[in-house]
Amino acid sequence: MFKLYKLINWYNCKKHNVHMGEASKMTGVVHFHGCGPIMIGKDVSIVSGEKYNPTVGEGSTHFRVWAKAKLVIKDHAGISNTSISAREYVEIGEGVAIGAGCVIMDLDFHSVDPADRGKYDDLGKVAPVIIKKGAFIGAKSTILKGVTIGEHAVIGACSVVTCDIPDNEIWAGNPAHFVRKLRM
């Protein structure tokens, strides 16, 4: 089965404009949507499927990148059963760890204006998401549009991040709030 998954991922990477760095690996079937470029650095680990990480039940990894958007995953990052949507730009920094069941998106997916909400082409507001070097995103957290998460910051499990997070701080909750500074 492992060889079949590897073949499926290889085919999907070719089909969906995915550039994989050396020693990067995908475990389980990773799902790609859209045709925008996905740049994956070296030694990145992407896990998809309950069999490989049962933490969130039937979760799997999905990358949705629109044609004029870009998703960048830098060296040594680890992603597990996560959904990332890029309408403009999402960057996952070097050595970032993203726990199972996380959702990261740089758009609203719909307008908050009821008159526009049902329109197919209205995806609401868009703003880049940047997660800097060494950050850790706890399982089932949601990172919303326009957020920058600082270097080595920690986001507690099940948090909803709606604002920028400074370097070396722990934030948690819904909405996420400051917990304490990291001891360095």
Identify whether the C-beta of residue 48 lies closer than 8 Å to the C-beta of residue 66: no
Active-site amino acid positions: 110
Helix/strand/coil (H, E, C) string of 125-140? CECCEEECCCCEECCC
- 3-class secondary structure, 14: helix
- 3-class secondary structure, 36: coil
CA nearest to 106, candidates 121, 139, 84: 84
Identify whether the C-beta of residue 50 lies closer than 8 Å to the C-beta of residue 57: yes
Instruction: Name the CA dihedral angle for 174, 175, 179, 180, rounded to a multiple of 10 degrees.
Output: 140
Q: Which two tokens stand for residue 97?
A: 């760890």
Q: What's the start-to-end Cα distance of the chain, in Å?
A: 43
